């Protein structure tokens, strides 16, 4: 068994952080072998949560609204790392940063040739959804 076998965790809403994963065989934290009661001595707001839900909550803080950027900013990001998922359709181009910010969150950039946009969201955001967000 390893930590990747764990499906639940101790989570702190105050710090929006996964404190530790919970071993399915013992119900105790992986690293300190704490139960919920002892975990709350250090983290009073600790709760038990599905690890997928906790990861989604953590990622939420890194998502952002669409902002308009300069052409120079767009090209700087396009040229600094190999882009991920470069797409074009109907006069629009978009790409994602290949370096992720947190979990599945990354910087997303788009242009229609005249205007340039940036926001942060899931690396799995589809090109059509990127365009839709930029045109709202």
- Tell me the pLDDT tens digit for each residue of 92-129: 999 999 999 999 999 999 999 899 999 999 999 999 99
Question: Global pTM?
Answer: 0.81
Helix (H, G, I), strand (E, B) or coil at 112: coil
Strand partners, 106: 121
Six-digit token string for 79: 């040229």
Buried b (16+ CB within 10 A) or exposed e, 60-81: eebeeebeebeeeebeebbeee
pLDDT band at 2 (very low <50, low <70, confident <90, very high): confident
- Provide the residue ranges of all domains of the chain, joining segments of one domain with +: 3-60, 67-134
């Amino acid at each position: 068994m390893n930590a990747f076998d764990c499906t639940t965790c101790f989570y702190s809403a105050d710090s929006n952080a996964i404190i530790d994963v919970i071993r399915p065989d013992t119900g105790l934290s992986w690293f300190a072998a704490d139960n919920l009661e002892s975990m709350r001595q250090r983290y009073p707001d600790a709760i038990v949560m599905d690890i997928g839900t906790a990861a989604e909550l953590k990622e939420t803080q890194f998502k952002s609204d669409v902002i308009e950027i300069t052409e120079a900013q767009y090209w700087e990001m396009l040229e600094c790392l190999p882009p991920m998922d470069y797409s074009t359709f109907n006069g629009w181009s978009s790409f994602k940063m290949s370096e992720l910010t947190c979990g599945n969150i990354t910087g997303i950039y788009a242009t229609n040739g005249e205007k340039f946009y940036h926001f942060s969201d899931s690396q799995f955001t589809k090109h059509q959804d990127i365009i839709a967000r930029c045109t709202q």
